[in-house]
Amino acid sequence: MRDGITMQATETRQKRGADWLAGAGLRPTRQRVALAALLIGDGKDRHVTAESLYAASCDSGEKVSLATVYNTLRAFCEAGLMREITVDGSKSYFDTNTSNHPHFFWEDDAHLTDAPAEELKIAQLPQAPEGAEIAKVDVVIRLRPARG
């Protein structure tokens, strides 16, 4: 073990992943535990696409098919463990932080990060039209490299 703080034993990360699954009543299969470990193993929030998570799992040496990555991300969302974020028409992003919060979308390399929720203050929101109610408000702050 080269680094006691940042490099956790794989077993620890997998334990956390398994617990996370158990909390949602999901069957802890080898591939789900592996993906869960990659997603929340170090306790940090993460934003992934199916492709990026698939790449990460390949890198980590775990063998999980791309179809399973897709199915698993869907299952995690349905179980309330993750949230799907819509920012770019072409692909779907998934966030391990399920609280309601704004996002930064970096237009130059199309990646997503959390924006500090406490810095966003909405003083007034348009009211929902008759017969409808607000399900969710999505705020995406698109960023580009600063000029100069």
- Positions touching DNA (CB under 7 A) are 26-32, 49-51, 63-68, 70-72, 74-75, 89-92
- The nearest distance, CB 27 to its own copies, in angstroms, is 27
- The nearest distance, CB 138 to DNA, in angstroms, is 16
- The nearest distance, CB 100 to its own copies, in angstroms, is 12
Q: Which two tokens stand for residue 74?
A: 């869907």
DSSP 71: H
- The nearest distance, CB 111 to its own copies, in angstroms, is 12
Query: 103 with 137: CB under 8 angstroms?
Result: no
| Binding partner selected for residue 40 from its own copies, DNA, none, CB under the kind-specific 5 to 8 Å limit | none
DSSP 6: T
Query: 60 with 17: CB under 8 angstroms?
Result: no
Q: Which two tokens stand for residue 67?
A: 């179809």
The closest of 55, 18, 52, 51 to 34, measured between CA atoms, is: 18
| Binding partner selected for residue 50 from DNA, its own copies, none, CB under the kind-specific 5 to 8 Å limit | DNA
- List interacting residues with its own copies (CB under 8 A): 84, 86-89, 91-92, 102, 104, 106-107, 115-116, 119-129, 131-147
